[in-house]
């Protein structure tokens, strides 16, 4: 299985901050990397697919980049509704695997 | 817009079989898409369990393959999950979802249902 890691595991930030979350794969996954946001008690929601494509309806302050083994999710200006846990997921091969998550909370 | 809704018992006894169904609305399950199950133990991360294509082809996580069966019910426009020989380690929120391509990305999710394994 391809192992996914994320850093940091948690971070505290203020509204308006620029936030960057990193995801690393244990082997090259080309651009087969997806990002999800999960709020407490809710199902995950797709934010970014194929490393940098914004899912329909997702605000443009979210962006993704990277290829190979290293990827980044950036929130350009953190909003109150963005406090959540973020997961990356590789879709390069089976089984699809998720990172352990990065929790973003209020400073 | 695809909508999914999980249903099934919230409590299962150890060694028994966990059975869940996912009702799909807003889209005919026969039209395409892959349909999958993901679980999340309380306070932990996400684990893909398996998926099924509308044609019936199935894909399972090797770590669970010996205990998992996923099937489609086109008459009810839904699909189901069976997980046998459950233990407390199987306690989790179970989500059903849809994804384009395989493995693909999950672009629609159900709200999730908590299943507790306990005697």
Instruction: In whole angstroms, give the CA distance from residue A21 to residue B22.
Output: 32
For residue B90, give every residue at least 6 positions away whose Cβ sits within 8 Å of its Cβ, in sequence order, or none: B12, B18, B39, B83, B115, B117
- Helix/strand/coil for B70: strand
> CB-based contact (8 Å) between A83 and chain B?
no
> Number of H helices and number of E strands within chain B?
0, 11
Written as one string, the DSSP assignment of A13-30 is E-TT--EEEEEEESS--T
> What is the least distance, in Å, from the CA of B105 to any CA of chain A?
7
* pLDDT score for B55: 86
Report the chain A residue with the minimal C-alpha distance to residue B95. A43
Residues of A with Cβ-Cβ distance to B68 under 8 angstroms: none
pLDDT one digit per residue (tens) for chain A, 107 residues: 999 999 999 999 999 999 999 999 999 999 999 999 999 999 999 999 999 999 999 999 999 999 999 999 999 999 999 999 999 999 999 999 999 999 999 88
Phi, then psi, of B105 in degrees rounded to 5: -115, 145
> CB-based contact (8 Å) between B33 and chain A?
no
Nearest residue, CB atoms, A55 vs list B48, B104, B107: B107
**Two tokens, residue B62:** 């090797």
Which of B39, B98, B103 would you mutate first to test chain A, the one with the most A CBs within 10 A?
B103
Cβ–Cβ of A44/B62 closer than 8 Å?
Answer: no
Mean pLDDT by 10 residues, chain B (119 residues): 96 98 95 95 97 94 98 94 98 96 94 98
Instruction: In whole angstroms, give the CA distance from residue B86 to residue B99.
Output: 26
Cβ–Cβ of A43/B47 closer than 8 Å?
Answer: no
Cβ–Cβ of A43/B110 closer than 8 Å?
Answer: yes
Give the HSE-up count for residue B18: Cα atoms under 13 Å, Cβ half-sphere.
Answer: 30
* pLDDT score for A86: 98
Nearest residue, CB atoms, B103 vs list A42, A93, A101: A93
């Amino acid at each position: 299985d391809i192992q996914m890691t994320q850093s940091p595991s948690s971070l505290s930030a203020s509204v308006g901050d620029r936030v960057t979350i990193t995801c690393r794969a244990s082997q090259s996954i080309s651009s087969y990397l997806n990002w999800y946001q999960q709020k407490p008690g809710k199902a995950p929601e797709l934010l970014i697919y194929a490393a940098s494509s914004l899912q329909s309806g997702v605000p443009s302050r979210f962006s993704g980049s990277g290829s190979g083994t290293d990827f980044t999710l950036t929130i350009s200006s953190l909003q109150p509704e963005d406090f959540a846990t973020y997961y990356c997921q590789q879709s390069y091969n089976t089984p699809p695997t998720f990172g352990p998550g990065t929790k973003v909370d209020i400073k | 817009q695809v909508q999914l809704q999980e249903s099934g018992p919230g409590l299962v006894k150890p060694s028994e079989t966990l059975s869940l169904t996912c009702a799909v609305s807003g889209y005919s399950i026969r039209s395409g898409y892959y349909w999958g199950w993901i679980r999340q133990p309380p306070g932990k991360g996400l684990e893909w369990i398996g998926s099924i294509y509308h044609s019936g082809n199935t894909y399972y996580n090797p770590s669970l393959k010996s205990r998992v069966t996923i099937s489609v019910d086109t008459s009810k426009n839904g699909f189901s999950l069976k997980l046998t020989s459950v233990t407390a380690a199987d306690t989790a929120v179970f989500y059903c979802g849809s994804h384009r391509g395989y493995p693909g990305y999950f672009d629609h999710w159900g709200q999730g249902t908590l299943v507790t394994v306990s005697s």
